[in-house]
Amino acid sequence: MKKILIVDDEPNIVMSLEYAFKKQQFEVFIARDGSEALEILQHQTPDVVLLDIMMPNVDGYQTLTHIKKNDSLQHTKVVFLTAKNKASDIEKGLQLGADKYLTKPFSVKKIISEILELVT
């Protein structure tokens, strides 16, 4: 079973993505911000982290940097899902090591297909 960690501080987004990924037979973990995500990542090694950028406490950029420094997460894919859609934001996210950069608003169907493409 594939594992995904959804990191977002917007409950409606988390609920719709959690439901959609469970229907795709993923084991789903949820974090409301980067610090919660980093706690989960101490005990879980998901196949993919779906990560917002603008969150309280630890933002997505900081979270990605921690993930990339952790040898036990070297095979974990990171996908940004964010409202930050300027070319400079996208470039920064990819330079930091994100595998994909998707923007809000989004289609759940498209997110599912993008993630499945990464992990299968």
The set of residues, in sequence order, having a beta carbon less than 8 Å from that of 55 and lying 6+ positions away, is 7, 8, 9, 32, 33, 34
pLDDT at 120: 84
Q: Tell me the helices (H) and strands (E) count for the chain, helix number first.
A: 5, 5
pLDDT at 18: 98
**What's the pLDDT tens digit per position in 33-58?**
999 999 999 999 999 999 999 998 99
Short-list 58, 56, 46, CA closest to 99: 46
Q: Which CATH architecture has domain 3-119?
A: 3-Layer(aba) Sandwich (3.40)
pTM here is 0.96
**For the chain, domain boundaries:** 3-119
93 vs 120: CA distance, rounded Å:
23
**What's the pLDDT tens digit per position in 53-112?**
999 899 999 999 999 999 999 999 999 999 999 999 999 999 999 999 999 999 999 999
